[in-house]
Structure 1
């Protein structure tokens, strides 16, 4: 099979790799779509993403969707051809979480992620023609949702989790600072959650066009000198820019 493999900084190749075979409890997926995350770009640009440094070649990609192409022993109830997306995370170890965060496996102290160099050996991702994952990692896509949109399930889950951690948004005003992929999805998730108005802000004009298409009621072009609204009760900081934090906090209403 062909796969997109990063060998080091600025060294990205399409390699020929052996076709994987599903083992017990595993599913083989014929990949169709993948989303490019900033972590994928970081591995290509720098040979590292945060503290995760490449020590050997890595198949990129953790935003992925395709169709079931085979199943291993012990896997039942999954039809060949089913369109699926993949939960890319696997907790490492079996120590229990503290009671206050019981069940919140996203807060597990050690997690293997598809397309990540955080552990050695690294965990290959899904930018390949075929990918084997555990059966409990797949999520069948609903009727009417193609694999192109299914590849967005992981970043959409980030946005929905953020909105879910906030207060009830029904009838409330929301500001989303940063209209990149995650911010745009937060806009959509906030509107879906019942927000009365959603304002999106960014330093570039192009993302604001997308934010409007995703449901933003108005936008703030910070590069044009426009200012964030004041006294906003619910604010999501999605730019990841340290310099933005002060302005975002000032835009947040007391008690917001």
Structure 2
């Protein structure tokens, strides 16, 4: 099953609406906010910085960027018209923010028009990541910063022991919602090939226990993928979802994934 996010503009509207809710719920998670603030704090934003987020979804990170010290303007782009409409709705009243429907691999924005480009949990969903990185390089001014944050999806687990059945849902989620689960491990070489000077990666461990949070949505979506692929029936899918909730209610839940942030600069 292909990654839904990779072709999000052609996904049925009702599914896009549901995914919009997932994106906002994830952005509201305290640990997700902490990881975002950590890597943004490592960027030397110039005063009056113009910032672009590629793959902005519903605009949660773009909204943070709009309020970041030194930022004069934040622009978000995404392929999904539904996500962009939601982003505009949620950012009403924010004067220095705007959103456009655009593909990060082919952007009509002017050369050297941004000081910082952020790609947050997006690049692993892109079929041609080098094309997006080339666009980021073109859009940045001399000395500009690129920040990429994404999951190391190969590390994701909700296991509490050997052969945990819930991990089948995690595996299915990866196959249905992530184009390249190994992308973060190849990313420094891809960034260097695009012309960037790459800084060492920072690892961010994300743990949920003893109750479920964002990773519970992976169980639900992974179970649905298993049904769609004919691997299990509807009753089994509901049983897996119920087991995840039982563990969370009983304070027996454990979930983990490692994220990574990698910063790079365009030469002066």
If the length of structure 1 is used for normalisation, what is the TM-score? 0.36
More helix by share: 2
More strand by share: 1
If the length of structure 2 is used for normalisation, what is the TM-score? 0.35
Higher-Rg member (1/2): 1
